Structure 1
């Protein structure tokens, strides 16, 4: 590593330029990872936080996609689902987008209609009380004990819960009878079923017997509005940024190695082994990546924490450390492209060219 550190110090202008480029790319990747996770939670947190193993929905017509919002499950299908092998519980949930009134002001919300006392229902939901998400509470100064008007029915706020958003709209939990009145659903109907299953559960048999489509909580998220398109677009941008970083780092170290060819030839001529030169080149790349990536990650962490109250960004191990590690790994892969010159450099040819 002596040669690598000496070379970085001697060409510190190029080293600082490359470090800045890596820092900026890392900043973009980490911030985009946090934003992707934050937007995803705003779309799906009300579903992922449910006490359920599977989410069952109405089977869509041919050519249509699964949708929790448009799904309607009949009382007969609900009864059939509850009697299937391996189904320990099937709790109905009604989902509809609407507006609730807070201090006579209409506020967009997603109603989640549940049966009070069911395992899937948050504690506090009753015929006279509701549970609201923390996003709605913070945006509209709602506190426990305040009144929320849902379709003319006044409900007292019993609790405020985190992780309760659906398709970027905060959730208000209400009794299923009130949800039916608001959505116009028939008696006994619901939108989805939250299934808790045992080892005897068979997804294919359940779907065939009930006429529904049941998916794990993770797989069911694609049935939430534009979640798949939104998440897919942001993920593609992240992948492209990482691919660009590999190309930039590989090109930089290739040029740097070409400029060092004379020094490498001298070292080979006096007996330096190829393995030593390879370790030195990889060490140089790793040091550059760690410094640049570390600066970018620290900047992203600070920006994320500062913007967390205004932007749906998530700052945790998965959105900070994982992108940083991935950037370092991909950068090393890009730097490997420069090692061909280290391996193939011929002392006599290089020294002759230097004259």
Structure 2
């Protein structure tokens, strides 16, 4: 690593430039990863929190959709007979009103057995997240209305979302009163897959696709992330290719003096690793700090999967891109140094 460190010190401007570029790529990758995870959480966290391993929805011949699913009493009863752990859940959209303030919410009707998501009382209680309660300016014990029904607020500190809308939990019986045209339930959660007539049982992962726009949104963001990783590898690889071609004379001289090709390869990869490690660490740290700072206003999630994993992939792909430059290093003829000296 002696030659690599000397080159980093001698060509400070060039390596500072590529380090800044790598840091910016690290910011973009980490921020996009955090935004993707944050948007996903605001889309599916309430469904992920449902009990059971499968979700039974109405089968209307089209792809499963929570928005269209309306289960009848007979279907709910048959599913519950087939699986004693089955729990009916109502899902609808509505608005919560409190002293002139209106907040769109996803109303989840939960049976009393659906701990911990059941409301404390069977009737007349609505559980709002702390963020939803703050938006409405209400506290525990205040009165709000959903449709034509009045509810007593019970504040929940869990941050649950459904299709980018905060979730309000009410008793299933109250949900049926608020949504008389939505059937006996929207879905039934089960510990197995007892799909009765007119229904289809989905695994938890497949059920996420039944949330409107989730697949298209998530896949678009993932495609952007993949393209950004590919661009990062090309940018880093191009820099080291150009840098290696500019120093072919020096490489030939080192070989003529007896330097082993293997030593020069390790030296070049170590140089790339130093630049990538520094740039990615700075970029990822900056993105995480910004994400924490704006987390309340932007759906951003800071975790190992949105920081450490993308940073590691970025370093690995950058090293893979720099491997292309090794071809010029390996094939350089020591006689080139003699020719260059003439």
Shift in Å, 1:70? 1.3
For the pair 1:295 / 2:282, whether they are aligned, the reply is yes
- Residue of structure 2 aligned with 1:181, choices 177, 180, 183: 177
Out of 75, 79, 92, the position equivalent to 2:73 is 75
In 1, the alpha carbon distance for the partners of 2:238 and 2:209 equals: 39
Tell me which stretches of 4 or more aligned residues in structure 1 moved more than 6 Å.
Answer: none
- Contact 2:119–2:169 at 8 Å: present in 1 too? no
Say whether 1:217 aligns with 2:217. no
**What RMSD, in angstroms, separates the aligned Cα atoms of the two structures?**
1.7
Deviations 1:118-163 (A, max 9, x none): 3474342520211112331232223211212112222111231413
Residue matched to 2:149: 153
Deviations for 1:271-310, whole angstroms, at most 9, x for unmatched residues? Answer: 1111101100110010000000011011111111111111
Do the aligned residues in 1 keep the contact of 2:89 with 2:186 (CA within 8 Å)? yes
Shift of the 350–210 alpha-carbon distance from structure 1 to 2, 3 Å rule, reads farther
Q: Deviations over 1:179-214 (max 9, x none)?
A: 223223366x1101111x2xxx4x4xx33x444222
Specify which of 168, 185, 205 is matched with residue 190 of structure 1: 185
TM-score (normalised: structure 2): 0.95
Write the distance in 2 (CA, Å) between the matches of 1:194 and 1:102. 32
Contact 1:34 1:319 in 2 (8 A): yes
Q: For the residues of structure 2 that align with 1:125 and 1:6, how far apart are their CA atoms?
A: 72
Aligned residue for 2:107, secondary structure, equals strand
Partner of 1:96, secondary structure, is strand
Match of 2:159 among 154, 158, 163: 163
**How far did residue 7 of structure 1 move?**
0.7
In the superposition, the TM-score normalised over structure 1's length comes to 0.92
Name the residue aligned to 2:261.
274
Q: Which residue of 2 aligns with 1:136?
A: 132
- Equivalent residues, number: 342
- Which structure 2 segments of 5+ residues have no match? none
SS at match of 2:307: helix
| 122-131 vs 221-230, greater mean Cα deviation | 122-131
The equivalent of 1:345 in structure 2 is 332
The 1:3/1:60 distance shift into structure 2, 3 A limit, reads: farther
Deviation at residue 267 of structure 1 after TM alignment: 1.1
Residues 268 and 274 in structure 1, CA contact (< 8 A), matched pair in contact too: yes
For 1:229, the equivalent position in structure 2 comes to 216
Q: What's the secondary structure of 1:319's corresponding residue?
A: coil
**Range with greater deviation from structure 2 (115-124 or 218-227):** 115-124
SS in 2 for 1:83: helix
Q: Which residue does 2:299 correspond to in 1?
A: 312
Which runs of no fewer than 5 residues in structure 1 stay unpaired?
Answer: none
1:125–1:131 Cα contact (<8 Å) kept: no
